[in-house]
Structure 1
Amino acid sequence: MSEHADPTTDSALAGSAAAEVAGLSQLSSAALADRYSNSLLGVFGTPQRVLVRGSGCHVWDADGNQYLDLLGGIAVNTLGHGHPLLASVISSQLATLGHVSNFFTSPSQIALAEKLLEISAAPAGSKVFFANSGTEANEAALKLTRRNAGTADAPRTKVIALEHAFHGRTLGALSLTYKEKYRAPFAPLPENVQWIEAGNIEALRAAVDETVSAVFIEPIQGEAGVRLLSAEYLAAARQITREAGALLVFDEVQTGMGRTGSFFASAPVIPDVMTLAKGLGGGFPIGAMIVFGEENTKWLAPGDHGTTFGGNPVACAAGLAVIHTIEAQNLLAHVRATGQWLREQLAGIEDICAVRGAGLLTAFELVSANAPKLVAAALDAGFIVNATDEQTIRLAPPLVITTEQLGTLIAALPQLISAAS
C-alpha cells in the first residue's frame, strides 16, 4: 500500500467531511443549539449564538445575522477572522509538516522562539517554552518558580498573587486565581498562595520576603474589568522581588502581542518569566513561556516539564505570521491611536461613569444599566461585547478594527444602555 491514499479517495473523504459540516450549517441556530446541548459538556452554559463564518471584524450566525466582533474571541483574533496571510501560512505549513512531537524540532519553532526573544528584548541566554494555551503557560511558570525553593533551613514555599487575579482554570493556575467561587469546588489546590492588594507597592514590599518563591502579576487585570497597574508598580515589583530573591512572573496572556499598543504591556520592565497565549496565534492555539536570563533557565531541566502538541510547526508558523503582520502593517501605532479614540468617545456618553484601558483592551462602567443585559441587547443589535461583572463591559476587538467600525457601536450605545437599564 502506498504511503498516501488514492487522490480520488482523499478528495471524496474531504468532500464528505466538508458536506457534514455544511449540512449542519444549513440548520437554524435553535436546531444547532439543541444538538450542542445533547453532545457537548455544559461547562460554558448555553451558547449565545451559533457562528458559521467570519471575515475581518465581522462574524455571521447560522440564521444569517451579521455581528461586529468587539471581543475578538477574548483578545485572541489579533488579525480578525479569515485573514488571508494567516490562513495561507497555516495551510502551507500543515501541508508541509504538521506535527512531529517534541522529540524533534522544526524551523518554524526555532524562528518563533528567536522572534519572541527579539521583540521582548530578552537578555542573552534567555529561552522559550511553547505550550497550547495561557493556562498551560502559567502551569509551566508555576512549576518553574516552585524550583526556587530555597534551602532546608530557609525554604521558599510561598507564592504571591494579586487580588482579582485570573491566571487560568487548571489546578495549578487555578491556585493563583483570586475568585473563590472558581477555586472552592476543586480544593485542595496547590497551597501557600497569598493574595495582596493590586497596585499597592507597600503591600507588595511587606509580603515579599525570603519565604517567597515567586510573584505573579498581570500588568492589566483583564478578567477583573481591565484594571491597569502603573509602570511605577511594575518597576517596584522588579526591584522588590530581585532584592528578596523571589522570581517575578508577568502574565501577559491577554495583554501581550500588541493588544495594548506595545508588544507587551509590561515593557520596558523585564521579569524573570513572561507567559503568553491568546493573540500570539491569531486564533490558532498556542501558548508560550519566556524565561529571561540564563540564570533562570536552570530551574527546569530535561524531563521536568513537557507537552505533546506545544510548539508544533503549524502553531509556530501562525505565531510568526501574526508578529510579522503586526510589524509590516504598523499595527502597534494603529492600536494606540484607535484605542485612544475609542476611550475618548466612550467617555462622552452620559450613562458611562468610568472608562479605562490601553490600546484595544478597554472597559467601561455603567451608571445604572445592567452589564449582562447590555451584552444581550448589543448582540441583538449586531455587536459582540462582554460583561466582566454586573456593571462593567469589556472590549477587545481585532487589532485591525477601524474607528469607522467602532463608531457604529458608539452611535448605538445610548439606546442599548437605555434598553439595559
Structure 2
Amino acid sequence: MVNSKIQAGEENLLHVYNRFPIALDHGNGMYVYDTDGKEYLDFAAGFAVTGLGYNNKELNETLKEQVDKIYHISNLYYHENCGEAAAALNKITGMDRVFFTNSGSEANEGALKSARRYAYTRQTGKYEFIAMENSFHGRSFGAVSVTGHDSYREPFEPLVPGVHFAKFNNLDNVKSLVNEKTCAIILEPLQGEGGINLATQEFMEGIRQICDEKDILMICDEVQCGMGRTGSMFACQGFGVKPDIITVAKAIGNGIPVGAFAMTKKVAEYSLKQGDHGATYGGNPLACTAVKKVLEIFEKEHILDHVNEISPYLTKRLDEMTEKWACIVQRKGKGLMQGLQFNIPVGEINKRAVENGLLVIQAEGNVIRFVPPLILEEKHIDEMVEKLEQVLMGLC
C-alpha cells in the first residue's frame, strides 16, 4: 500500500497517470527505495532519463552550488551557462544552433515550428509533415499531431492539419506520401513507446536522400533513444545520417527538466526569428548547469564506451530468455534500449515485476521495455533476469 500521507494527497491531483501503488522516496546508483525502505532495481530510469543513475554526487554538488547562486533569470539577459551548454550540445549533435526547452514535447514542438518557419521564410508554400506510424513525439498539440497512435490523437481532434503517417521502415510508402507541400519528415531512429522498433540502415539513408532531393527537412527525435543509449551518442549517428533538426531531452539533464532542439546553420538562417518562439524557463541557469555537468561526466567517465561494453551482455541475456520462455516472441532494440515482445498481455508482468522489486515499463505491442541507467553492470543484468524470470514462472 502507498504511504497514507502520500495517498491522502492524491485526491488533489488530476488523475491522468496509471500509477503503481508504491511511493518512492530516494535513489542511489541503479536502485530506488520506497517510503517503507523497500529496494527496487530500476531498469526504467524514469523513462530513460537518469542515464547517470541516482544520487550522482558530482552532479548533485554542482547543482547545489548553482542553486545558491541563481536558478532563474529572464531570457532578456545573458548567463554563461546557457552558451556553454549550447556549445557542448552542438559539439555532440553536430548541429550549429540550439534552443533550450523544458521537455521533449516542447523540443518537438519547436522543431515543427522551425520547419514551418523555414518554409515560410523561403516562400516555398510548404507546410505538411510526414510522420511514422507507431511513433511518439509528445502530448502538446503539435507533438501529438505527429504521434502515430490513434488513441493519443482522437480525443483532441481536429489537430494540426497536413500530417500524413507512413509505415516505419517502408521507404516506398514514405515516397508515396511526399508531395509539393511536404516541408519535413519527422521520425525516431529507434521508436520507444511504439514498441522498440529500430530503423533500418536503408530506411534512414533513404529518408535523408528524399529530403535532399525534394528540399525537405529531416527531423530526428532523439528524446529517448539519444544520449548514448544505443551505443552512439545519438541513434542517427549510428547510421551515419545527419538530420537537419534534432530534438533531445530526458538524459541530457539526468532528471532536471530540460530539453532542446538544435539545427544546422543553413536551417537556422531561414528559421525562427526574434519573437517567433520562446520559453520562460527554457535555458535557465540551473537546467543549463545540469546539461553542462552531465555532458562533462559522460566524457570523463567514458559512458559511451561503457554502453558499448555492457550492452552485448544485456543482448545475450535477453536472447537466452527468448529461447527459454515460450511466451516471449522476440527481443527488439539496440544497446541499452531494448525490449521483449510477449504473446501474452504484459500489464500483469509489469505489475508483478514491481512487486518483486524490479522496475520496467511497457511499450506498444505487448513489449516490456528495458531502458536502465547507463551505469549498469553485468550483476545488475543478472539480477534483472532473475527477478523477471521469477515473475514469468507464474504467468508463462
Same fold (TM over 0.5): yes
Correspondence list, 1:115-194, <5 A: 115-122=88-95, 126-149=96-119, 155-194=125-164
Could you tell me which amino acid in structure 2 is paired with residue 79 of structure 1?
A: L
Q: Does 1:258 align with 2:232?
A: no
Cα 1:199–1:270, aligned 2, differ >3 Å: closer, same or farther?
Answer: same
Q: Which moved more, 1:159-168 or 1:87-96?
A: 87-96
What secondary structure is seen at the aligned counterpart in 1 of 2:393?
A: helix
| Counterpart-to-counterpart distance in 2, 1:236 and 1:389 | 25
Q: Which moved more, 1:32-41 or 1:191-200?
A: 32-41
Q: State the shift of 1:81 in Å.
A: 0.7
What secondary structure is seen at the aligned counterpart in 2 of 1:419?
A: coil
Q: State the shift of 1:202 in Å.
A: 1.6
Candidates 197, 200, 203, aligned match of 2:167: 197
Identify the residue that residue 289 of structure 2 maps to in structure 1.
317
Structure 1, gaps ≥5 residues long: 1-27
Is the 1:128–1:290 contact (alpha carbons within 8 Å) kept by the matching residues of 2? yes
Identify the residue that residue 276 of structure 2 maps to in structure 1.
304
Q: Does 1:278 align with 2:250?
A: yes
Cα 1:369–1:154, aligned 2, differ >3 Å: closer, same or farther?
Answer: closer
Could you tell me which amino acid in structure 2 is paired with residue 327 of structure 1?
A: E
Is the 2:195–2:364 contact (alpha carbons within 8 Å) kept by the matching residues of 1? yes
Identify the residue that residue 41 of structure 1 maps to in structure 2.
14
Cα deviation per residue 1:234-271 (whole Å; 9 max; x = unaligned)? 12111101211111100000011111121100013111
Q: Does 1:355 align with 2:331?
A: yes
Is the 1:134–1:278 contact (alpha carbons within 8 Å) kept by the matching residues of 2? yes
Q: Percent identity?
A: 35
Candidates 26, 38, 41, aligned match of 1:53: 26
Q: State the shift of 1:412 in Å.
A: 2.8
Cα deviation per residue 1:339-367 (whole Å; 9 max; x = unaligned)? 2211111111211321122221110112x
Could you tell me which amino acid in structure 1 is paired with residue 359 of structure 2?
A: I
Is the 1:220–1:265 contact (alpha carbons within 8 Å) kept by the matching residues of 2? yes
Q: State the shift of 1:390 in Å.
A: 5.8
Could you tell me which amino acid in structure 1 is paired with residue 380 of structure 2?
A: Q
Corresponding pairs, count = 390
TM-score (norm 2): 0.94
Could you tell me which amino acid in structure 2 is paired with residue 84 of structure 1?
A: K
Candidates 367, 372, 382, aligned match of 1:407: 382
Q: State the shift of 1:30 in Å.
A: 4.1
Cα 1:153–1:197, aligned 2, differ >3 Å: closer, same or farther?
Answer: same
Cα 1:231–1:32, aligned 2, differ >3 Å: closer, same or farther?
Answer: farther
Candidates 163, 182, 185, aligned match of 1:212: 182
Q: State the shift of 1:220 in Å.
A: 0.4
Cα 1:70–1:295, aligned 2, differ >3 Å: closer, same or farther?
Answer: closer
| Counterpart-to-counterpart distance in 2, 1:243 and 1:275 | 23
Identify the residue that residue 242 of structure 1 maps to in structure 2.
212
Is the 1:369–1:417 contact (alpha carbons within 8 Å) kept by the matching residues of 2? no
Identify the residue that residue 305 of structure 2 maps to in structure 1.
333
What secondary structure is seen at the aligned counterpart in 2 of 1:102?
A: coil
Which structure has the bigger radius of gyration? 1
Q: State the shift of 1:209 in Å.
A: 3.0
Identify the residue that residue 398 of structure 1 maps to in structure 2.
373
Could you tell me which amino acid in structure 1 is paired with residue 339 of structure 2?
A: A
TM-score (norm 1): 0.89
Candidates 72, 77, 101, aligned match of 2:45: 72
Identify the residue that residue 262 of structure 2 maps to in structure 1.
290
Correspondence list, 1:21-32, <5 A: 29-32=2-5
